[in-house]
Amino acid sequence: MKKRKILKWMNSFVSVLLMVLLIGVAALFVYTKISGGEPEVFGYQLKTVLSGSMEPEIQTGSIIAVQTVEDGSGFAEGDIITFMESHDKLITHRIVEVNESSDGPIYTTKGDNNNAADSSPVLAENVVASYSGITVPYAGYIINFAQTPNGALVFLVLPGVLMVGYSTITIWRALGELEKSKKAAGTE
C-alpha cells in the first residue's frame, strides 16, 4: 500500500512539473512573438557559443546568458560583451582596449583563445549585451540538434508517443482497478 502511495505521489509530481514546463514554454513563446524580439527572461537572453575563441572561460557548445543593454558605452577593459559584427552575426569577446572618439567609445576586442585582437574595432552602438557569467556547458549542442529534422523527431514526436503510451497504460490500470473494485463489491 505504501508503494502505491509513493507511485501516486510521483505520478502527480511529474504531471504537475510537465504542465508547469509546458505552460512556461508556451508563455515564453507567446511573449517572444508579441514583443517581436529574441526570447528574454528577466532581461537575459540565451545564446549558443559556436566557436572556441573564448575558451577556457566559455566552452564551445555552451549556452551563455547575456544581459541586453540599451547603451553600449559603459564598458571597461576586461568586460565580456556581445556585439553585432555583421547584420546577422553576433560575437562574444573580451574588451582589451577602450579608445574614445567623437562618436563615443570604440572597443578593441579579442577572444581569450585567439592569438591577436579582432581586426575591426567595435563601436558602442554595435554592443547588444554583456556576458552575465552564467554558462551551461554543452547545452548548445542539444539546442542545435533540436533544430534539425532528426532533433525535431527526438524532442517532439518521441515524447508525444511516450506520453500517449503512458496515458494508455494509466487508463488500462485504472480500468483494471475499477473492475476489481466492482467484483469485490459484488462478492460482499
Q: Cite the DSSP H helix spans in the chain.
A: 2-35, 139-146, 149-152, 158-187
Burial of 175: CB neighbours in 10 Å, binned 0-12, 13-18, 19+: exposed
Cell of 75: 564598458
Residue of 51, 53, 62, 102 with catalytic role: 51
Cα 7 to Cα 82: distance, rounded to the nearest angstrom: 47
Q: Is 167 a catalytic residue?
A: no
User: Phi and psi of 128, rounded to 5°?
Assistant: -110, -20
Nearest by Cα to 117 from 131, 87, 97, 100: 97
Nearest by Cα to 47 from 131, 122, 150: 131
96 conformational bin, left if phi > 0, alpha if psi -120 to 50, beta if neither: alpha
- Catalytic positions, written as ranges: 51
